[in-house]
Amino acid sequence: NAGVTQTPKFQVLKTGQSMTLQCAQDMNHEYMSWYRQDPGMGLRLIHYSVGAGITDQGEVPNGYNVSRSTTEDFPLRLLSAAPSQTSVYFCASSRARGPQETQYFGPGTRLLVL
Amino acid sequence: GENVEQHPSTLSVQEGDSAVIKCTYSDSASNYFPWYKQELGKRPQLIIDIRSNVGEKKDQRIAVTLNKTAKHFSLHITETQPEDSAVYFCAANLNRDDKIIFGKGTRLHILP
- Rounded Cα distance, B13 and B66, in Å: 23
Q: Does A88 touch chain B (CB under 8 A)?
A: no
**pLDDT at res. B96:** 72
With contacts defined as CB-CB under 8 Å, which chain A residues touch B31? 100
Amino acid symbol at B71: K
* Residue B9 backbone zone (phi > 0: left; psi -120 to 50: alpha; other: beta): alpha
Q: Do B99 and A45 touch (CB under 8 A)?
A: yes
- Output the pLDDT for position B97: 73
- Three-state secondary-structure class, residue B1: coil
> Quick check: B14 and B100 in contact, CB under 8 A?
no
Mean pLDDT, chain B, as a whole number? Answer: 94
The per-residue pLDDT for range B91-102, each reduced to its tens digit, is 999 877 788 999
Looking at beta carbons, which residues of chain A come within 8 Å of B101? 45, 59
What pLDDT, on the 0 to 100 scale, is given for residue B52?
Answer: 86
CA distance A18 to chain B (A): 25
CA A44, A46, A49, A50 torsion: positive or negative?
positive
With 80 as the cut, is the pLDDT of residue A97 above it?
Answer: no
Percent of chain A scored above 90 by pLDDT?
88
Mark yes or no for CB contact A42/B89 under 8 Å: yes
pLDDT of residue A53: 95
A100 vs B93: CB contact, 8 Å cut-off? yes
Top-confidence residue, A24 or B1 = A24
What digits encode the pLDDT tens for the residues A42-63? Answer: 899 999 999 999 999 999 999 9
Instruction: Please tell me if residue A107 touches chain B, with a CB cutoff of 8 Å.
Output: yes
Q: For B30-39, what is the mean pLDDT?
A: 95
The number of angstroms, rounded, from the C-alpha of A14 to the middle of its chain's C-alpha atoms is: 20
Q: Which residue of B has its CA nearest to A40?
A: B104
Contacts for B37 with CB less than 8 Å, ≥ 6 apart: B44, B45, B47, B86, B87, B88, B89
Output the CA–CA distances (angstroms, integers) from residue A36 to A2, A44, B21, B86, B104, in the order listed.
22, 5, 23, 18, 12
The whole-number pLDDT of residue B108 equals 98
| Closest chain A residue to B30, measured at CA | A100
Question: Rounded CA gap, A3 and B76, in Å?
Answer: 29
The residue among A60, A78, A77, A74 whose CA lies nearest residue A14 is A78
CA distance A88 to B65: 31
Q: Is the pLDDT of residue B1 over 90?
A: no
pLDDT band at B87 (very low <50, low <70, confident <90, very high): very high
Give the A:B interface size as CB pairs under 8 Å. 57
B21/A contact by beta carbon, under 8 A? no
Among partner residues B6, B43, B46, which is closest to A106 by beta-carbon distance? B43
Helix (H, G, I), strand (E, B) or coil at A85: helix
For residue A101, the model assigns a pLDDT of 85
pLDDT at A99: 73
